[in-house]
Amino acid sequence: MTSRLLTTLALLLVGVSLPASAVEVTVSAAPVTRFKDAGLDQPVDKLVFRGGIAMVSQDDTFGGLSGLTQTGPNNQVTFVSDRGNFVSGHLAYDDANRLFGFIGVRISPMENSKGEPLPRQYAKDAESVDTVYRNGAAAAVRVGFENLTRVADFQLTGGIPSGAARELAIPQWLTDLRTNESIESLCIAPPASPIAGSTLILAEEALDENGNHRGWLLGQNDKGPIGLVNTPVVNPTDCKFLPNGDLLVLERGVSMLSFVMNLRRIPAAEVRPGAIMDGELLLSATGGSIDNMESLLVHTAPDGETRIVIGSDNNFNDWQRSLLLEFALAD
């Protein structure tokens, strides 16, 4: 057992008590050592493949992982799931900074604004999440839902979301999208961004008069419509900002009965109200190297390397996988 893992386990043992409705689950992980034609630490498109894991659990509440965000130190993270759950734990790395597990996993149901369990599946379909920082500390997570389309904040206690939802006002055209193709992507701009603190929302299938994906910026100083060029086959399914303010957009689709994935990088200066974003294609894949890729995480490794984690949603199907694939920026 590595020293880094021992440290993480010690922190978990003295960590936060579980919410009354939360359950602890064990997640097993098998290493993923190849991606497309690349092995570990080899270039793939415009990134470098750093490995990954395929996760499984005997607990049937684990799955449907649709969004991912870092909520605390020592790689503490939270997923949101299709069934209205928070799935929290720590990504485990060895001394070579290689991802090898997801540990200390706790699953807890989300609540509505009255502090009650979400009443039915129509209200539970969480698809995206990012972390709200106040005075430099992680204070809440912001979650985007489809079907009953809305955006809500949940407080963080010791890096774990809990408590009643606090809903945010969103444009009426977004509220009216009562389908499973509404809010798929939500991310919050970092301090280096020209729109720092603003929340970017991208709709999966809502298109403008020119066929571009519609979006919206929620912010005090930067508010209004924004769009993303519509790429054939794929739709936006998550987004995260890089530390320098550039935006990453994950796209996902199906072609010839196979999943397709793209990752785009959009310069910070092009992420502004009224813009139609396009950007540079960093990574593209199809076939057995991927699954239904839906979640995106950006974090910094101990050596200062910027890492990008891309996760898949297995839709609670036995024939799909819960993958976490990790890459590094080549520059």
Condensed to tens digits (0 to 9), the pLDDT of residues 129-157 reads 999 999 999 999 999 999 999 999 999 99
What pLDDT score was predicted for residue 180? 86
Judging by beta carbons within 10 Å of its beta carbon (0-12, 13-18, 19+), is residue 13 exposed, middle or buried? exposed
Domain 3-12+23-93+104-329 in this protein, CATH class: mainly beta
Using only the alpha carbons of the chain, give its radius of gyration. 18
- 3 has pLDDT over 50: no
Dump pLDDT digits (tens) for 253-268.
Answer: 998 889 999 999 999 9
Question: Rounded to 5 degrees, what angle do the CA atoms 200, 201, 206 make?
Answer: 145
What pLDDT score was predicted for residue 13? 40
Position 36 confidence tier, pLDDT thresholds 50, 70, 90: very high
DSSP 8-class letter at 15: S
**CA-to-CA distance for 265 and 278, rounded, in angstroms?**
8
Dump pLDDT digits (tens) for 183-241.
Answer: 999 999 999 999 999 999 999 989 999 999 999 999 888 999 999 999 999 999 999 99
Which residue, 286, 327, 319, 326, is CA-closest to 56?
A: 319
**CA-to-CA distance for 307 and 329, rounded, in angstroms?**
7
Cβ atoms of residues 68 and 295 within 8 Å: yes
Q: Residue 96 corresponds to which tokens in the numbers above?
A: 């070579």
What pLDDT score was predicted for residue 17? 52
**CA-to-CA distance for 194 and 258, rounded, in angstroms?**
38
Q: What percent of the chain has pLDDT over 70?
A: 94
**CA-to-CA distance for 238 and 126, rounded, in angstroms?**
12
**CA-to-CA distance for 3 and 162, rounded, in angstroms?**
30
Cβ atoms of residues 225 and 215 within 8 Å: yes
**CA-to-CA distance for 280 and 243, rounded, in angstroms?**
17
First-last CA distance in the chain: 32
**CA-to-CA distance for 61 and 321, rounded, in angstroms?**
15
Query: What type of residue is 39?
Result: G
Find the largest Cα–Cα distance for the chain: 57
**CA-to-CA distance for 184 and 235, rounded, in angstroms?**
9
Position 161 confidence tier, pLDDT thresholds 50, 70, 90: very high
Neighbours of 287 (CB within 10 A): 10
Q: Which residues, in sequence order, are bridge partners of residue 34?
A: 39
209-212 long-range CB contacts below 8 Å, 24 or more apart?
A: 210/276, 212/276
Cβ atoms of residues 227 and 213 within 8 Å: yes
Q: Residue 318 corresponds to which tokens in the numbers above?
A: 């036995």
What pLDDT score was predicted for residue 280? 97
